[in-house]
Amino acid sequence: MSKRVGIIYNPSRKENLEIIEKIEKHLHSKAVSTWRGKVGTENSDWQFLKDSLDFALILGGDGTLLGASRILAPKGIPMFGVNTGHLGFLTEGRPTHALELLDKVLNNEFRIEERAMLCGYILSSDPLNSEQGPMFALNDIVINRGTSYKMVHMTLNVDNRPVADYIADGLIISTPTGSTAYALSAGGAVMDPEIKGVEIVPICAHSLTNRPHIVADNRIITITFNRPHEGTILQIDGQETLEIKHGVKIRITRAVHTAKLIRLLGEESDFYWTIRQKFHWGSLAQQ
Domain range list for the chain: 4-108, 117-257
User: Residue 287 — pLDDT band, cuts 50, 70, 90?
Assistant: low
Q: Span 132-159, mean pLDDT?
A: 95
Q: What pLDDT score does 222 carry?
A: 98
**Helix%, strand%, coil% for the chain, nearest 5:** 25, 40, 40
Tell me which CATH code domain 117-257 carries: 2.60.200.30
pLDDT digits (tens, 9 = 90+) for 184-205: 999 999 999 999 999 999 999 9
Interatomic CA distance for residues 26 and 98, integer angstroms:
10
pTM: 0.92
Q: What's the pLDDT at 2?
A: 75
Between 41 and 234, where is the model more confident? 234
φ/ψ (deg, to 5) at 169: -75, -15
126 is catalytic: no
From the candidates 62, 140, 169, 237, which is the catalytic residue? 62
Q: Do domains 4-108 and 117-257 have the same CATH topology?
A: no
Distance CA 21, CA 18 (A): 5
Domain 4-108: CATH superfamily is Probable inorganic polyphosphate/atp-NAD kinase; domain 1 (3.40.50.10330)
Q: Which tops the pLDDT comparison, 9 or 177?
A: 177
Mean pLDDT of 206-235: 93
List helix spans (H) across the chain: 14-29, 62-72, 98-106, 182-185, 271-279
Q: Is the pLDDT of residue 88 over 80?
A: no
Per-residue pLDDT, 137: 98
Q: With pLDDT > 90 as the criterion, what percentage of the chain qualifies?
A: 67
